[in-house]
Amino acid sequence: MKISQQCYAQRRRRLLEALPEGSVALVAGASLATRNRDAEFPFRQNSDFYYLTGFNEPDALLLLKPGREEGEVVLFCPPRDPAMEIWTGYRAGPEGCVERFGADQAFDLDEQDEHIPELLDGARRLYYAVGSDDALDAQVLSWLNAVRAKARLGAEAPEELVLLDNLLHEMRLFKDEEELAVMRQAAAISAEAHCEAMKLAAPGRYEYELEGRIISHCMSAGARFQAYSPIVGAGANGCILHYIENDAPMNDGDLVLIDAGCELDCYASDITRTFPANGRFSDEQRALYELVLKTNQACIELIKPGLPWNEVHDLSVQMLTSGLVELGLLSGDVDELIEQGAYRDFYMHRIGHWLGMDVHDVGNYKVNGEWRPLEPGMVMTVEPGLYVSPQNENVEPRWRGIGIRVEDDVVVTEQGCEVLTSGVPKSVAEIEALMAQ
């Protein structure tokens, strides 16, 4: 399942229309990253660049210039070179960029220094991701200087450098039907993968065996890449928020926390489930699990257009704090404990984040200093958690080392929200039943 070229063309049109008169926008693609010596990580395109082109080759660059007669959409791309292509694989080349990727004009990468100063000449503002990449900043300055060097010949360099992020990321924050179809599919594949991992779990197996099952399932279902490194933490490893070692054995009596989601056509999914390695929750595990689950469900229930983003988080803080008091892990007045931030010993992250082409997706959370109200088409995660440090001497030993998160992906709809990740169970009874299979 892929985003159509028509959709990419519409996005470029919208951005061209949003750019003020006399501006140029530059969006750079990603380069290959070195893993070690001359071995490279698999290529992942820059999300902004891919959002506007669907073009998946390294080192490319998009330039948009509204109203330009010779063409408003200009792409720079790796050249077609049969000798290189034996090593790198097929390249579309400038012709392919025009024919298949909607460029009005396209050039080889090595023609950037020749053409970009010409394209900047006469523009008042240059929009790009200022400050996000040192090499790009240096390149942009060199192109600006090349225009300034021709001032006596009548060349005029842009006066202002403007961050493109606000314009472009506001577009990316709202997902259309094509994007939602891809995200539904990514979430469904990841949900199945979580079910497979739950079924495989058993004391004596290693965390990476579950990671392997997740990756293998996603790949078999058409999702070649994960959206981030899977977290598979057994026992106290579940309390380490970004645990990715995944190399410990699961012990009888451990909970296992898996946070993993595949990527499909550069759209992420992001799911966490927590379950007992031996298939049965202990009393303490169940008590804390039910609290996190109840919070996850209440937060999802609350989500609807108009609700300020922060109210979802505030509800999670309220529910988790009062639950911890009821179970005896905190003591005192709930409102005072919230005021003091006592929950932060157990719940140290926020309720969620925007989700899209990046797992922690772009888009502002506040507008004019206020938490922004939710709107249809926004996709976010809902991921309350409780993590009782093994070193926490303020709670009875029976609670220590329990780490739990329950994370779903939802899209805000006109009426409320649609849960994209309901394909993987989360109630105690359902999890125990699945694991008994």
Where in the sequence numbering do the catalytic residues fall?
A: 38, 242, 259, 270, 349, 353, 360, 383, 387, 405, 407
| 259 versus 265: smaller Cβ distance to Mn ion | 259
Which residues inside 299-358 make contact with ligand GLY, applying CB under 6 A? 353
**Using an 8 Å Cβ cutoff, are 353 and 259 in contact?**
no
Indicate the residue among 48 and 259 with the shorter CB distance to ligand GLY: 259
In the complex, least distance from residue 194 CB atom to ligand GLY, rounded to whole angstroms: 13
51 alpha-carbon distance from chain centroid? 13
Nearer to ligand GLY, 27 or 258 (CB): 258
Q: Would you say 70 and 103 are in contact if contact means Cβ atoms under 8 Å apart?
A: no
Among 52, 146, 359, 374, binds ligand GLY (CB under 6 A): 359
Shortest separation between residue 413's beta carbon and ligand GLY, angstroms: 22
Q: Which stretch binds Mn ion (CB under 5 A): 168-176, 218-226, 258-266, 411-419?
A: 258-266
Tokens for 395? 């709670």
- As measured in angstroms, the least distance from the Cβ of 364 to ligand GLY is 18
Contact with Mn ion (CB under 5 A) among 45, 105, 295, 381: 381
**Binding residues for ligand GLY, how many (CB under 6 A)?**
7
Nearer to ligand GLY, 263 or 270 (CB): 270
3-state secondary structure of 434: helix
Instruction: Please select the residue that binds Mn ion; options are 179, 259, 265, 361, rule is CB under 5 A.
Output: 259
Nearest-10 Cα torsion for 116, 13, 265, 384: 110
Nearest to 306 by CA among 381, 378, 383: 378
Count of Cβ atoms closer than 10 Å to residue 240 Cβ: 15
Q: How far is CA 310 from CA 177, 313, 361, 405, in A?
A: 26, 5, 17, 19
The interface mask with ligand GLY, positions 376-395, x = CB under 6 A, is: -------x------------
Residue 371 binds which one of Mn ion, ligand GLY, none, with CB within 5 to 8 A depending on kind? none
Rounded Cα gap, residues 108 and 75, in angstroms:
9
User: What is the DSSP secondary-structure string of 124-160?
Assistant: SEEEE-TTS-HHHHHHHHHHHHHHHTTGGGT----SE
Size of the site for Mn ion (CB under 5 A): 4
State the burial class of residue 7 (Cβ atoms within 10 Å of its Cβ: 0-12, 13-18, 19+).
Answer: middle
- Answer yes or no whether residue 48 interacts with ligand GLY by CB under 6 A: no
Candidate residues 48, 165, 209, 270; the one interacting with Mn ion per rule CB under 5 A? 270
Could you give the 3-state DSSP secondary structure of residue 386?
A: strand
Query: Which element (helix H / strand E) includes 422?
Result: none
Residues comprising the chain, all counted:
437
Residues that bind ligand GLY in the complex, under the rule CB under 6 A: 228, 259, 270, 353, 359, 383, 407
Residues that bind Mn ion in the complex, under the rule CB under 5 A: 259, 270, 381, 407
